[in-house]
């Protein structure tokens, strides 16, 4: 297996990105793209030398200052001023794992040969990636319209020897890390600052990371819901393929098949039932979980299109002898997709909490609040409260960010996507879903103990055996916070053949 990923004209996909990070691969630029970058830069330099007309962002000011012509001698200062003045991010630091995706996607976009940057600038970004040097980037500051200006300015600052970075868990001034690696600051040339700042790599990096999070969370939600179904003495009939063949949404059919596989061999699911139907939170799992999987499929298509695109401005077309100022930096496609992702993942948490509620309600032979001697013991009464609180918070965060806009840059940028807000909200929301399904697992595993000596399926028994190593059966009241946190960590650590899941769920196999 090669330790390098070659940045080429071959489009990136989710599995490739996952493998780059999982295998800790380093990046190299293909000869083909090196040539395109050099050709574009040479064309731009020639154009500047022979054409004194204003060209937006190349020899003019920015935003509402687009009509201010800048002299040739000040072009480097213009670009460096742009990076410094736009580094206005605040809020929490973006996780280093997301910053690393940002670096990859910025390198990819600049390498297509339509941005007019120096090869040395791209190579320095590759140096940062390959040596795990992560600029300080902040969650707040992007409107998701002229690209992710503030976050990308912070990503670019260390190229100039400014700002801060993290390297091997230690914080450095960028100037110090450059000295440590014997690198000189990049001297930005015409358009380079704008190329670095215009783009959607903050939103799209979050989008990639969120897809990976969502995929795993959605899969784990299926496993945990299977445990809940068996613990609740639920019926398998609603998962019969005939039901889903007459309403053949792909995600719905996938979930139904998955439940039949996971529950195969269960003594509980196969026994005679006194009840004819289950509540919707059990009976409609294929329809609800499946709709989320179909949403992930849509979001993936948007994200893949975006990360394999040129999203800065203006765009340079050497072969056509054209430099065109357009709007590829506008994040509306991402904003809508990320909002859709928020809604879809919030529903995974929503229906999960309803199953928790049913499990603690003293129904179908289960003790009230899943504990012996209820009254003296409150048992699992309050974890359901916690789940309900988180679900409600998710409903608030799931409100679409993309329906908002605000005027900026003195009216020049008069419609913005708010996709960056959608991205950071989605990150928090999906973390919340992880917490909710962890609480469901704690409740479902507790409930299924009361069904002994009957067993669930061998697959689920194995899953629960691993879980019981970190969270025991609760006999009497104790501090459940610790068990919730242990459950959350268990789901983070659980070993899943994740690449196989990507291949299946993303239609790549």
Any idea which residues carry the catalytic annotation? 56
The CA-atom distances, in angstroms, between 132 and each of 87, 128, 310, 417 are 21, 6, 25, 31
The rounded distance, in Å, linking the Cα atoms of 491 and 502 is 18
Q: How many CB atoms lie within 10 A of CB 51?
A: 12
Alpha carbon distance 283, 421 (integer Å) = 35
Using CA atoms, how far residue 403 sits from 111, 340, 411, in Å, is 33, 12, 19
Phi and psi, residue 272, nearest 5°: -65, 140
Q: SS3 for 244-294, per residue?
A: HHCCCCHHHHHHHHHHHHHCCCCCCCCCCCCCCCCCHHHHCHHHHHHHHHH
Chain center to CA of 462: 29
Asked whether 292 and 282 are in contact (CB, 8 A), the reply is no
* Preceding omega of 347 cis (within 30 degrees of 0): no
Measure the CA–CA gap between 254 and 352, rounded to whole angstroms.
18
Residues 6+ apart with CB under 8 A from 31: none
The helix/strand/coil state of 93 is strand
Torsion sign (Cα): 453, 459, 462, 467:
negative
138-140 and 164-167 strand pairing: unpaired
Nearest residue to 51 via CA among 61, 43, 63: 43
Neighbours of 465 (CB within 10 A): 9
Rounded CA gap, 467 and 26, in Å? 35
DSSP string, 298-323: HHHHHHHHHHTS--SSSEEETTTTEE
What is the C-alpha to C-alpha distance for residues 196 and 106, in angstroms, rounded to an integer?
A: 8
Q: Residue 361: which H helix or E strand, with range?
A: none
Instruction: Please give the structure tokens belonging to residue 412.
Output: 């020049």
């Amino acid at each position: 297996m090669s330790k390098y990923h070659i940045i080429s004209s071959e489009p990136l996909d989710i599995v490739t990105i996952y493998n780059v990070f999982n295998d800790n691969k380093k990046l190299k630029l293909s000869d083909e793209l090196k040539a395109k970058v050099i050709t574009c830069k040479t064309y731009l330099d020639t154009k500047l030398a022979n054409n004194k007309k204003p060209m937006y962002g190349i020899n003019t000011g920015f935003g509402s200052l687009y009509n201010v012509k800048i002299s040739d001698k000040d072009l480097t200062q213009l670009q460096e001023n742009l990076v410094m003045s736009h580094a206005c991010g605040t809020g929490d630091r973006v996780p280093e794992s997301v910053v690393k995706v940002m670096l990859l996607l910025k390198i990819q976009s600049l390498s297509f040969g339509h941005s007019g940057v120096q090869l040395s600038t791209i190579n320095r970004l590759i140096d940062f990636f390959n040596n795990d040097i992560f600029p300080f980037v902040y969650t707040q500051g992007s409107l998701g319209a002229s690209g992710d200006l503030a976050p990308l300015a912070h990503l670019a600052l260390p190229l100039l020897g400014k700002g801060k970075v993290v390297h091997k868990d230690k914080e450095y001034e960028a100037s110090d890390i450059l000295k440590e690696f014997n690198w000189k600051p990049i001297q930005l040339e015409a358009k380079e600052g704008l190329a670095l700042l215009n783009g959607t790599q903050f939103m799209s990096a979050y989008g990639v990371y969120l897809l990976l999070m969502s995929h795993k969370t959605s899969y784990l939600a299926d496993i945990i819901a299977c445990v809940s179904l068996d613990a609740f003495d639920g019926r398998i009939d609603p998962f019969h393929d005939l039901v889903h063949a007459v309403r053949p949404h792909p995600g719905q059919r996938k979930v139904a098949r998955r439940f039949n596989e996971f529950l195969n061999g269960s003594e509980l699911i196969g026994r005679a039932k006194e009840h004819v139907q289950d509540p919707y939170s059990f009976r409609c799992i294929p329809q609800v979980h499946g709709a989320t999987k179909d949403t992930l499929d849509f979001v993936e298509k948007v994200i893949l299109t975006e990360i394999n695109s040129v999203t800065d401005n203006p765009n340079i077309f050497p072969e056509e002898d054209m430099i065109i100022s357009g709007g590829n930096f506008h994040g509306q496609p991402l904003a809508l997709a990320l909002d859709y992702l928020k809604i879809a993942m919030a529903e995974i948490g929503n229906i999960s909490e309803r199953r928790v509620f049913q499990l603690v309600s003293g129904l179908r032979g289960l003790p009230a609040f899943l504990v012996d001697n209820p009254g003296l013991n409150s048992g699992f009464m309050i974890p359901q409260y916690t789940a309900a609180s988180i679900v409600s918070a998710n409903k608030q965060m799931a409100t679409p960010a993309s329906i908002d806009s605000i005027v900026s840059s003195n009216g020049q940028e008069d419609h913005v996507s708010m996709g960056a807000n959608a991205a950071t909200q989605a990150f928090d929301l999906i973390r919340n879903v992880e917490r909710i399904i962890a609480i469901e697992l704690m409740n479902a595993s507790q409930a299924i103990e009361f069904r002994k000596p009957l067993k669930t399926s061998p697959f689920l028994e194995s899953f629960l055996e691993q879980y019981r190593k970190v969270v025991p059966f609760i006999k009497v009241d104790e501090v459940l916070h610790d068990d919730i946190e242990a459950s959350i960590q268990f789901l983070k650590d659980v070993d899943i053949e994740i690449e196989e899941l990507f291949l299946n769920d993303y239609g790549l196999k």
